[in-house]
Amino acid sequence: MTGKRVAIVTGGTRGMGQAISLRLAKDGNIIIAVYRSHKEQAEKTLELLKKVSPESGIYKCDLNDEKAAASMVDDIAQQFGRLDILVNNAGIFDFKFLEEMDGVYLQKVLDGNFKSQFYMMRAVVPHMKKNHYGRIANASSISGNFSDVGLIAYAASKACVNMMTKISSAELAPYQITVNAYAPGIIHTDMTDAMIQERGEIQVKQISLNRFGTGEDVASLVGFLVSPEAGYVTGEIIGVDGGFFKVQNAYRAYEYVEENKNK
């Protein structure tokens, strides 16, 4: 049994997930980064992980398959003799208006963003209970609380994540398992690139910090939430969004600074 903490990071080989995997590895954890496709990218991530944490690895799994997810978790726990951290980062992002949606599409988004997280939580909890310790961080989104046209399915899936996070944090507290969610704003990854290209100039004006986020911005928050130091933080949905829509017309602050810089 290893003395290091063992972390599973779903969707852990690309974008935000890769940044999270590398951050947790640098923090001294053994990382198993889970992917479903893009094998070449997964292998590149593995090379980066091995440089920091030689015991780390990658695992291919379809998280929409409850049995496959449970089998993967059992394999990892058996290999290392423990399982301490779950970062439920995998998910999908897509736009569709109500009239374009059907039941198949709605189910696909709910499966990818909510049910897969539920399956993973169900699978890891028995292993965490054995050690009376666990850290779970679920990927939510500003869309879980903030309405946006074209995101009925996506927003609903993230609202489900929020409620699961809050309720499970109380249910698992007797076992010293904390459950929190990180709620990114607009993070520039390959998944959001098309949206940023389409309407980024408009959206960035409503971000107080006047820039889109990076995977490292998200990883910094997740690194804290799954650390021993966050033992008294649970049931929280924490934004990492640069102040997106915290106030109206955030861009006016920059206009003011520009207008008065020579005064």
Q: Are 175 and 129 in contact (CB under 8 A)?
A: yes
Closest CA to 248 of 192, 198, 205: 205
> Phi/psi at 184 (nearest 5 deg)?
-65, 150
The residue to which tokens 């893009």 are assigned:
38
Task: Write out the two tokens for 72.
Answer: 């993967």
Task: State the catalytic residue, choosing from 154, 175, 251, 256.
Answer: 154
Beta bridge partners, 253, equal none
Q: Please indicate whether residue 251 is annotated as part of the active site.
A: no
The residue to which tokens 């006047």 are assigned:
210
Residue partners of 125: CB distance under 8 A and separation at least 6: 134, 172, 175, 177
3-state helix, strand and coil shares in percent for the chain, rounded to the nearest 5: 50, 15, 30
Amino acid identity of residue 66, one-letter, is: E
Q: List helix spans (H) across 81-231.
A: 103-110, 116-131, 152-172, 193-203, 215-225
What amino acid positions are annotated as catalytic residues?
154
